[in-house]
Structure 1
């Protein structure tokens, strides 16, 4: 029950304990994390190729993704909208240049192409000698070690996090509303509730949720989790500019863990620099909570 959590949390904790004062080394780690994400997704594609009768599972993958995405999106936006009502209207700074959504969308398309590339290569590999599961596990541990170093050197101090009540409130609302959406999705799909909660705990961190869920529940479920969180990121890019003016909590929170990195430029340009600390705190908390919550729910599912 606890071995899977140890494999994930130990490298993350070790990485978080490593201070890094060299800016060039920090830059190298950032680049390495980006490359590791591509590697893990490529291996996920190979794992998917090893599934027997894959074509018969595609409908399952897209059904799982569609149902969970719809349920979690509705619950997230409803909960964050209520949070905005409680806070009152908050205007962000205006006048910043509009970021190119197409460039960001292209990055997401590249991720899908990487999986398809792994899927194509996997057709020519023999699962008997190509230990894709072992490679994926080691790649994940290295990725988490590097992410732990990133988080330690992100400039976020515990005092800054605890004092930013708006960022903490957004993160808490995202977690709770996502759980409600995950429970609804599991009920509609007749899945164990713990699986629905695990799906809902990815918070947009597609590479992590896909590989963790795939490792425990198989590549079909892992691919569905990946697509669910990737689609959430794509939707966030599209709706942030429209939501920021009247519903800033919705704009910041819907991107989940990506609000501290991938969607942060969109948030900054839509809401101004005053939004950045809130987005970073929210994304930081969700990034730390993601692997703990996913593995906790999966441990109850798999026993």
Structure 2
């Protein structure tokens, strides 16, 4: 049961064991992660193009993603709203991060570009299908598996060299509380959504365990449950990030834990500039710790749940 889990976790663990002290090497690793994500999403699109009755499958995928997103979001908002009333965060005066992409349009562009890659993969698959046949889609799935192993190794290396020592994580109780609350409420949402999506309980939990890390959740879910559910996980977590860009400026001054936590794993990168701009510098370490913990938890948790 757990052999597949161990095989996939091995590159993540091996990558985490590698210390990197050279900035050029670290930059190359970061570029490798980005390229691997784009490659796998392109291959995901190719796999989707091989589905029979593609239009109906895409419609079903959209409906399932909307259902999953709605249930998880309701659970998140209730739990993080409760936490916001329990934690008293002293926010400093908002101060824009130097050289940060505070424009929401600029921040959204990176997210939406990934959707474009998936759509490009679908288009490419439809064009090549008459010439290559079904072998195209089998080859895409096999190649995606190997690129996934590479990606997990690089991600492990990124996490190890993120500059986030364990002591700093454990001492930041606000970030820890927010991460735990977001994780538990998301899993509850996935459990509640599972029967609505005709999924087993562990599959519903796995679908919810991306915590906003759409570029990874879609890949891992698609590898084990097929391209349709991989697409559902991808769009569920992508919608979380898009919603976070809207939600953060509206509530962060009154309910900072909700604003920080709702972004999930993206609180340490994509949504961080928006959090800092509207919440102040006091929010930055909290958001980074929360996002880091969720990023560290998500891959092994998804794989563990899928192995049950």
Tell me, in whole angstroms, the C-alpha distance in 2 between the residues paired with 1:170 and 1:197: 19
TM-superposed CA distance for 1:272, in Å, is 2.1
Instruction: Check conservation: 1:90, 1:248, Cα contact below 8 A.
Output: no
Q: Deviations over 1:25-78 (max 9, x none)?
A: 112211221121111110110011111221121221011100110011111111
The counterpart of 1:117, out of the listed 110, 115, 120, is 120
Q: Tell me what 2:59 maps to.
A: 59
Instruction: Check conservation: 1:89, 1:246, Cα contact below 8 A.
Output: no
Q: Tell me what 2:25 maps to.
A: 25
Report the number of matched residues: 300
Tell me, in whole angstroms, the C-alpha distance in 2 between the residues paired with 1:271 and 1:7: 41
Q: CA 1:50 to 1:3, structure 2 compared with 1: closer, same or farther past 3 Å? A: farther
Three-state SS of the structure 2 residue aligned to 1:52 is coil
Q: Tell me what 2:189 maps to.
A: 181
**Which segments of 5 or more consecutive residues in structure 1 lack a partner in the other structure?**
none
Three-state SS of the structure 1 residue aligned to 2:282 is helix
Instruction: Check conservation: 2:29, 2:158, Cα contact below 8 A.
Output: yes
TM-superposed CA distance for 1:191, in Å, is 2.5
Higher mean C-alpha displacement, 266-275 vs 35-44: 266-275
Q: CA 1:89 to 1:285, structure 2 compared with 1: closer, same or farther past 3 Å? A: closer
The counterpart of 1:137, out of the listed 130, 145, 170, is 145
Tell me, in whole angstroms, the C-alpha distance in 2 between the residues paired with 1:139 and 1:118: 16
Instruction: Check conservation: 2:194, 2:203, Cα contact below 8 A.
Output: yes
TM-superposed CA distance for 1:89, in Å, is 5.3
Runs (4+) off by over 4 Å: none
TM-score (norm 1): 0.95
Instruction: Check conservation: 1:179, 1:201, Cα contact below 8 A.
Output: yes
Q: Tell me what 2:232 maps to.
A: 224
**Which segments of 5 or more consecutive residues in structure 2 lack a partner in the other structure?**
none
Structure 1 position 208 matched with structure 2 position 216 = yes
Three-state SS of the structure 2 residue aligned to 1:74 is helix
Tell me, in whole angstroms, the C-alpha distance in 2 between the residues paired with 1:27 and 1:237: 27
Tell me, in whole angstroms, the C-alpha distance in 1 between the residues paired with 2:265 and 2:108: 17
Q: CA 1:89 to 1:260, structure 2 compared with 1: closer, same or farther past 3 Å? A: closer
Structure 1 position 265 matched with structure 2 position 268 = no
The counterpart of 1:237, out of the listed 213, 235, 245, is 245
Tell me, in whole angstroms, the C-alpha distance in 1 between the residues paired with 2:134 and 2:245: 37
TM-superposed CA distance for 1:91, in Å, is 2.6
Instruction: Check conservation: 1:90, 1:246, Cα contact below 8 A.
Output: no
Q: Tell me what 1:12 maps to.
A: 12
Q: Tell me what 1:274 maps to.
A: 282
TM-score (norm 2): 0.93
